[in-house]
Amino acid sequence: MLNERASRRKDDSTPPPGKLSSPEMDLPNVLPGFEQINRYWDKRQCVFAAKILPGEFYVSKQGEMIVTVLGSCVSACIRDPIVGVGGMNHFMLPEQRENMVASRRESDESTRYGNWAMEFLINEILKLGGRRGNLEIKLFGGSRVIQGMKNLDVGSGNVDFVRDYIRQEGLKIQSEDLGGTFPRKVLYFPDTGSVKVRKLKSIANNKLLERETQYAKQIKGKPTQGEVELF
Amino acid sequence: MTKILAVDDSTSMRQMVTFTLKGAGYDVIEAADGQEAFDKAKGDQVDLVLSDVNMPVMDGITLIKSLRGLDSYKFTPMLMLTTESAGDKKMEGKAAGATGWIVKPFNPDQLLSTIKKVLG
């Protein structure tokens, strides 16, 4: 019954009477695991949208738009154009503890965190039928917005990581808009692969700065782990 | 030396797992999919299998099922290490003969203590 309703909703382009002014009532079904993501009808783009915050990711199989605002954080927009599934993440690497200098890449907590952010997005796409060989990857963000200890450029650390990750995984970057000094608003359309990027040059970025600083604090030194069950 | 077969289609994941295991003194063999893992395990008896679930060519659950079909792997501990946390997938793993289910992200200490526990 549920499926029948969902497919009718997708196929029928004529909204039922009385629904014209409130398309948000008809939000497309969300994939399991993404129920907490903020979704809405975007009047400007005339499309259903999902807005992701630092530390979140979202994957869609239907014509939705994924939106985020990036300062020092980076986002990977990844899709399998053949299978028709794609998504976006939004993350930064946690700042290293002061005594962890020149530790090996595989061992440092900071890199591990980035690996998980990329792994979760790619795995979700693969789980929904995507294939590694088909993946189309676009990278955004990593501007000089927040500064770490010793005036470290947090953005450029994130950029280096995400480029390294893609190379190490044997994947290819289709396009990128990384670094610089301005925050970015990114609109991603996984069904077509198109991305709209707007550099935020004039608006007050206090909210963005606050959000990223809070996220940086939240992930610093916090060990990440999932559950373990022995049968 | 205890030998562990680490299976994951992501190079970064394999490196992270291998680094953790080698640091704890284990010998590690890597494989990028279930089929490669099956072939390596047949040629070289390992003491524990640590495998991802969603992989190309042969997935982790089929790998466990196939290995359990071999006399030499009837009692070998086999752990799944995956982003999958859904109950039905877990039950599928259990039915295939997995010893346990670890949801990513893993914490190195937690991974090592789980391995120690199942190795007995």
ipTM, 2 dp = 0.90
Domain that holds residue B83: 3-119
Question: pLDDT category, B87, cuts 50, 70, 90?
Answer: confident
Residue B51 DSSP SS3: strand
Substitution target from A100, A110, A112 for chain B, most B beta carbons within 10 A = A112
Total tally of structural domains belonging to chain B: 1
Q: pTM for this one? A: 0.85
CB < 8 Å to B9, chain A: 132
**Residue in chain A nearest B91 by alpha carbon:** A231
Q: Which of A31, A65, A69, A73 is catalytic?
A: A73
Looking at the domain A31-219, which fold is it? 60s Ribosomal Protein L30; Chain: A; (3.30.1330)
**Residue in chain A nearest B15 by alpha carbon:** A106
Pairing label, strands B48-51, B78-82: parallel
Q: Minimal CA–CA distance to A138: which of A188, A97, A63?
A: A188
Residue B18 DSSP SS3: helix
Secondary structure in 3-state letters for chain A: CHHHHHHHHHHCCCCCCCCCCCHHHHCCCCCCCCCCCEEEEECCCCEEEEECCCCCEEEECCCCEEEEEECCCEEEEEEECCCCEEEEECECCCCCCCCCCCCCCCCCHHHHHHHHHHHHHHHHHHHCCCCHHHCEEEEEECCCCCECHHHCEHHHHHHHHHHHHHHHCCCCEEEEEECCCCCEEEEEECCCCEEEEEECCCCCCHHHHHHHHHHHHHHCCCCCCCCEEEC
Question: pLDDT category, B47, cuts 50, 70, 90?
Answer: very high
Which amino acid, one-letter code, is at B44?
A: D
Phi, psi for residue A131 in degrees, rounded to 5: -125, 140
Residue A6: the pLDDT is 37
Residue A13: the pLDDT is 43
Low-confidence ranges of chain A (pLDDT < 70): 1-25, 96-107, 146-151, 202-205, 221-223
Which amino acid, one-letter code, is at A223?
A: P
Whether B78 and B64 have beta carbons less than 8 Å apart is answered as yes
- Per-residue pLDDT reduced to its tens digit, A20-77: 445 556 888 899 999 999 999 999 999 999 999 999 999 999 889 999 999 999 999 9
Rounded to an integer, the average pLDDT of B95-104 is 96
Give the domain ranges of chain A: 31-219
C-beta pairs of B24-30 under 8 Å, 24+ apart in sequence: B24/B112, B25/B1, B26/B1, B26/B2, B26/B115, B27/B1, B27/B2, B27/B3, B28/B3, B28/B4, B29/B3, B29/B4, B29/B5, B30/B5, B30/B6
**Known active-site residue A77:** no
Conformation bin of residue A20: beta by default, left when phi > 0, alpha when psi is -120 to 50: alpha
Contact A230 B117 (CB under 8 A): yes
Substitution target from A123, A164, A227 for chain B, most B beta carbons within 10 A = A123
Separation between Cα atoms, residue A75 and residue A139, nearest integer Å: 6
Contact A115 B118 (CB under 8 A): no
